């Protein structure tokens, strides 16, 4: 399977989200085989977007969540509230939150554990900065992020897990990672996951690539067996671009099923 995750970030209000959700669903029309679609709107638009996607195969994701079910946590949103809104997936540890809001490895670990305990699928984001890549530390950074985020997680008894490899330098820059670098890092991430979860059945984790994915480069990533899908930011709010990405995923799946 191939998964296309749309992270609308803080770029659309409620009305625009409804229109974008409708248009995003239309991109699935008329295809023999369709990718899994996960739409992550801003919190304020979740309930309206839910109405739009209700009778479709698309899933709704949140862009963040807190690690307690309820309590005195001003401004936070719990997984239970999200589940009530039909949210099945949650982005955790996005680099924008790590960098702009000081989200720590410990907080990310608590969120992953909590999401899984609530039967929500975490989309754990990892990735190195430019300086770290230039210094040759990309793998070590990603390995450390995975180890700390997944501390204490028992995947074989809990749900499934998505890991999104999003090199920080490729986010919102039009400078995506090369397909070769992505394949290499995805293989490495898979090997780390297999070491952390020796008993997990094949297919329990999916590895996505994110960072300046657009209509032009999506096919190149998606056709690779190592790439289970893409996590799309800017191009997910430009419907023509998004349509091309969904079509690229559908073409890959159609070729595989032919």
Of 20, 213, 245, 246, the one binding ligand 13P by CB under 6 A: 213
Residue closer to ligand 13P (CB basis): 126 or 138: 126
The residue (of 143 and 214) whose beta carbon lies closer to ligand 13P is 214
Q: Which residue has 């998964």 as its token pair?
A: 3
Among 49, 113, 171, 252, the residue binding ligand 13P under the rule CB under 6 A is 171
User: CB–CB of 2/252 below 8 Å?
Assistant: yes
Does 7 engage in binding with ligand 13P (CB under 6 A)? yes
The answer to whether 222 contacts ligand 13P (rule: CB under 6 A) is no
Decide: is 61 part of the binding site for ligand 13P (CB under 6 A): no
With binding defined as CB under 6 A, does residue 103 bind ligand 13P?
Answer: no
233 binds ligand 13P (CB under 6 A): yes
212 binds ligand 13P (CB under 6 A): yes
SS (H, E, C) the chain: CCEEEEECCCCCCHHHHHHHHHHHHHCCCCCCCCCEEEEECCHHHHHHHHHHHCCCCCEEEECCCCCCCCCCCCCCCCHHHHHHCCEEEEEECCHHHHHHHCCCHHHHHHHHHHHHHCCCEEEEEECCCHHHHHCCCHHHHHHHHHHHHCCCCCCCCCCCEEEEECCHHHCCCCCCCCHHHHHHHHHHHHHHHHHHCCCCCCCCEEEEEECCCCCCCHHHHHCCCCCCEEEECHHHHCHHHHHHHHHHHHHHHHHHHC
* Binding-site member from 158, 206, 234, 241 for ligand 13P (CB under 6 A): 234
Q: Quote the least distance from Cβ 192 to ligand 13P, whole Å.
A: 20
Give me the active site residues, please: 94, 166
| CB 205, min distance to ligand 13P, A | 18
CB of 193 to ligand 13P, least distance (A): 20
231 is a contact residue toward ligand 13P (CB under 6 A) = yes
Interaction of residue 143 with ligand 13P, rule CB under 6 A: no
Binding flag, residue 232, ligand 13P (CB under 6 A): yes
Applying CB under 6 A, the residues found at the interface with ligand 13P are 7, 94, 166, 171-172, 210-213, 231-235
């Amino acid at each position: 399977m191939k998964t296309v995750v749309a992270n609308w970030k803080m770029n659309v209000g409620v009305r625009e989200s409804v229109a974008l959700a409708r248009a995003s669903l239309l991109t699935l029309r008329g295809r023999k085989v369709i990718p899994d679609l996960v739409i992550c709107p801003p919190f304020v638009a979740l309930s309206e977007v839910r109405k739009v996607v209700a009778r479709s195969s698309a899933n709704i994701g949140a862009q963040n969540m807190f690690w307690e079910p309820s309590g005195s946590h001003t401004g936070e949103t719990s997984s239970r509230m999200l589940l009530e809104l039909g949210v099945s997936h949650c982005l955790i540890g996005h680099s924008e939150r790590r960098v702009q809001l000081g989200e720590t490895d410990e907080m990310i670990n608590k969120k992953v554990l909590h999401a899984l305990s609530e039967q929500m699928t975490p989309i754990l984001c990892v990735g190195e900065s430019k300086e770290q890549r230039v210094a040759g530390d990309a793998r070590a950074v990603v390995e450390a992020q995975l180890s700390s985020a997944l501390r204490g997680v028992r995947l074989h008894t809990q749900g499934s897990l998505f890991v999104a490899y999003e090199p920080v330098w490729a986010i919102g820059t039009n400078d995506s990672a090369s397909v070769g670098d992505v394949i290499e890092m995805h293989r490495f991430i898979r090997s780390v996951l297999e070491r952390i979860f020796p008993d997990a059945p094949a297919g329990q984790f999916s590895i996505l690539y994110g960072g300046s994915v657009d209509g032009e480069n999506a096919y190149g990533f998606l056709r690779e067996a190592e790439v289970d899908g893409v996590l799309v930011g800017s191009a997910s709010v430009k419907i023509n671009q998004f349509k091309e990405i969904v079509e690229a995923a559908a073409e890959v799946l159609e070729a595989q099923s032919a």
